[in-house]
Amino acid sequence: MARASGSRWQPSYVTESALGTPSGTQFTKTRLLLSSEGIRQQRANLQSQEAVGDRSVAQGRLGNKNNTFKGTGELSYGTFEDFIASANMNAWVAAGDAIASLTVTVVAGTTNTMAATGIGGTGGSAIAVGDYVKVSGFGTGYTANNGFFKVTARTADLLTFGEAKDPVTGASLLTAATAQANITVQRCSYCVTGATEKSLAFEDALLDASIYFEALGCVCNGMTLDIGLDAIVTCAFDFIAQRVLGPSGSRYAITYAEKTTTLPIRATDCIVAIDAVPVATITALSLAMANDRSPQFSIGLADATGIAYGRSNLTGNLSMYAESDTFWAKYSAETRIALGLKFMDSTGNYGYAVDVPRALITDSSFAKTEKDVIQNLPLQIEKDPTSGLINWRWWKLA
């Protein structure tokens, strides 16, 4: 009999049309790390307290089935968007209508604007402050103006990209240009925290031993994002499952869709802005969302009949080289900061951005070595009264 090898573990998933109901039988192979836990079931040991007279323990039973699916992955474009939607309890909003055939003038330097009649859009193409937009169509000599930019100010005929600056030198990333024709601008797709259930079904397969499990009604209880020096950006997801089927000798998926092949995103592919200014002194950044979810059990059933959710609590930790008293002063004065993250592949063709508009620094400490002093800043993310965001917004840059 073949013994299972971790190298043959294959986790896959499909979205659900309702809690516990897969939307189809074609599952998508995931790109979770081998160290991921996958499916787990825990049950309380209901030990009998019967008096038996000879100091033995009487027969007991097992309690309710607490089912989970936990996985860690390397952030790559197009891989974990359904997971992020489940963590945010919301669907991705489609990209806006393209605003095409524009004749654009670019002012670089400290101004960083693109001007054209109607560039701000209306209706389904409307662009707002805080939006990420895709700009395309600039030709030879001006290709730096193609890409993904955050709008920091706008009018009907003018967009300002205040964060399009080099994090080290502060120089503009744009190239000045006059009357460049056939330019297209489009608002990118995004996902914000809400209260709409987005559940998944997972198949957990040990292929060489033909052992298959299926976890149904999986909702994301927590998600973390970690960026460290000289490393790949990682993300971890903690799902609660309504019930688990198996083990079975036959797979639950009828067919499999292949996983994405985009390259994993490295720390060197990231730009972090604090209060709209790109920063080049950050050594580590982590964000953790907790949805405070728990299974709901009913008498007569061992599996959960529902899964409750609480507040969406986003916290973080920021570490940076100590260069000034700026962040100690913000901590002491309870001054909120805004974080902006941008992850791009090496070609600049696709990636993600994450906006955290309001964060409170809850502590400040200094870790000292012979060579460096690192300031550590724990963060509590709050609802932003200006944008209305509960905590963060994910942007899909493609």
166 Rama class: left (phi>0) / alpha (psi -120 to 50) / beta = beta
Q: How far apart are CA 222 and CA 197, in angstroms?
A: 14
High-pLDDT (> 70) share of the chain, %: 100
Each residue of 162-202: pLDDT tens digit? 999 998 898 999 999 999 999 999 999 999 999 999 999 99
The answer to whether the beta carbons of residues 218 and 241 sit under 8 Å apart is yes
pLDDT band at 347 (very low <50, low <70, confident <90, very high): confident
pLDDT reported for residue 348: 83
Mean of pLDDT values over 146-151:
97
Q: How far apart are CA 357 and CA 381, in angstroms?
A: 8
Each residue of 40-89: pLDDT tens digit? 999 999 999 999 999 999 999 999 999 999 999 999 999 999 999 999 99
Helix (H, G, I), strand (E, B) or coil at 88: helix
Mean of pLDDT values over 115-125:
96
pLDDT band at 120 (very low <50, low <70, confident <90, very high): very high
pLDDT reported for residue 92: 98
pLDDT reported for residue 22: 98
Give the list of residues 6+ apart from residue 56 with CB closer than 8 angstroms, or none: none
pLDDT band at 352 (very low <50, low <70, confident <90, very high): very high
pLDDT reported for residue 270: 94
> Which string of DSSP letters, residue by residue, matches 307-363?
EE----EEEEEEEEE--SSHHHHHHHHT--EEEEEEEE-TTSS-EEEEEEEEEEE--
The pTM (predicted TM-score) of the whole model is 0.95
The domain segmentation of the chain, as residue ranges, is: 6-44+61-92+193-397, 99-187
pLDDT band at 34 (very low <50, low <70, confident <90, very high): very high
- Token output for 65: 């089935």
Each residue of 212-266: pLDDT tens digit? 999 999 999 999 999 999 999 999 999 999 999 999 999 999 999 999 999 999 9
pLDDT band at 2 (very low <50, low <70, confident <90, very high): confident
pLDDT above 90 for 273: yes
